[in-house]
Amino acid sequence: MSNVSPFQPKLLSKINERLVLRMIQERGPSTRSEMSKYIGVTFPTVAKAVSSLLESQLLEEIDDASAGPGRPAKRLRLASENSQVIGITLSGDECTVVAGDLNGTVHKESVLRFPTPATYELLLAEIETCAKSFISSSGKSTLGVGVSVPAVIDYGKQVAIMSANLPLVNGKSIGKDIQNLLGHECVIIHDSHALSLSERLHGNAKELSNFVMLDHCIGIGLGLMVEGRFLTGDSGFAGEIGHSPVVLDGELCKCGKKGCLETVASEWAVEERVSKLLGRPVQISEVLELAQGGNLEVMQELERMCDYLAIGVAHVVNILNPGTFFIYGRVFEACPKLFDLLVEKTEELALKPSVAACSFARANGSLLDGTVASVINYLTDSLVPNLEDYLSSLSQGDSQNSIADETLVPS
């Protein structure tokens, strides 16, 4: 068995730093001794990794309140006192800018909202004003910015390729443009992926590596998590279920095609139908108030929405065979029985073995939380983008327990 590591010392240092971060993310504030035991590395190796993470402001030290007599041990936690990240959510009607810490906590006092402007230039100006107010007034170091976009995203180029519901970002390098304005690294993420991250961090997917997230809002999107990674497809376009055709020669969709799922099952489709029903324009918030108030005609329109949405959900169940299927949307928050109806209709349409193996649940995460989580993921994963691949290589090479100085031994 060779004692020579297949990796360079600098990479090994980064791997150790990533393992330290992952442990704290999973187990909370920890001492250096606890890290050494849990990760399976020597104390000096942990100390070196922690020192680097403290210097980069990803971690901070706190006193161990549970320590006994004598000099108290120091625990390390994800930075919250002196560091922050900025999260930005974009949609067709409203945009939000927030500040959060590296635990993924959104600072409720640091939330600014504004109506979505008519042009890309005005959008950038609003974002710059809001974000800079947090950056300049917080007294904290801003480590990065995350932006969730309702668009098909080229993750490699960080470009919003196409958004049916926010066309002003089409073809724009919005991440790069915001980075240039704010002077901080910026990453963009599909809004369905942001919701998936939020569910893993704050919701019911903490122990799940494989699940599906349906994002039902103005548009309809799908987040696919496989072995802890997003399934984005060859060009990043996977999950665009809202633009799957379900009605032959149906209504014109905002994407330019006809009969898409969004034309019969999205919030904007419901708004259009209820507006025709009432003879005046209404927004989804009023639609839901009418449904909650017992308006039978409005409720029938929402049930019709579920009929079509179940077709799309059944396709996903049959094709992907997910173990857990999360449903996100304010329609289902306001009218929980519509969630039950959607599941019932899906069970009628999907293959029995596939749907029997699938658990349906309402999502508990939020888009804001997920956007903040996207920055945290970017900051931590940038240390070692393919951590699991490296750990697998170490295992296959039988190099565990044999790396001098930069020992790396996953527990």
Taking the C-alpha atoms of residue 151 and residue 156, their distance in angstroms, rounded to an integer, is 15
The whole-number average pLDDT for the span 76-86 is 89
The average confidence (pLDDT) of the chain is 87
Domains and CATH numbers, the chain: 9-80+383-396 (1.10.10.10), 83-195+368-374 (3.30.420.40), 204-363 (3.30.420.40)
Cβ proximity of 29 and 75 under 8 Å: yes
pLDDT in tens, 191-226: 999 999 889 888 888 888 889 999 999 999 999 988
Evaluate if residue 399 carries a pLDDT over 50.
no
The whole-number average pLDDT for the span 2-18 is 66
Evaluate if residue 291 carries a pLDDT over 70.
yes
The sign of the CA dihedral 381, 383, 385, 389 is negative
pLDDT in tens, 299-323: 999 999 999 999 999 999 999 999 9
Evaluate if residue 281 carries a pLDDT over 50.
yes
The whole-number average pLDDT for the span 351-355 is 96
Taking the C-alpha atoms of residue 204 and residue 211, their distance in angstroms, rounded to an integer, is 11
Position 6 scores a pLDDT of: 46
Taking the C-alpha atoms of residue 77 and residue 99, their distance in angstroms, rounded to an integer, is 18
Evaluate if residue 398 carries a pLDDT over 50.
no
The whole-number average pLDDT for the span 7-24 is 79
The sign of the CA dihedral 97, 99, 103, 105 is negative
The better pLDDT of the pair 113, 82 is held by 113
Taking the C-alpha atoms of residue 146 and residue 131, their distance in angstroms, rounded to an integer, is 11
pLDDT in tens, 235-275: 778 889 999 999 999 999 988 999 999 999 999 999 999 99
Mean pLDDT is highest, among 145-159, 208-222, 338-352, for 338-352
**Model's pTM, two decimal places?**
0.82
The whole-number average pLDDT for the span 66-78 is 73
The whole-number average pLDDT for the span 291-304 is 96
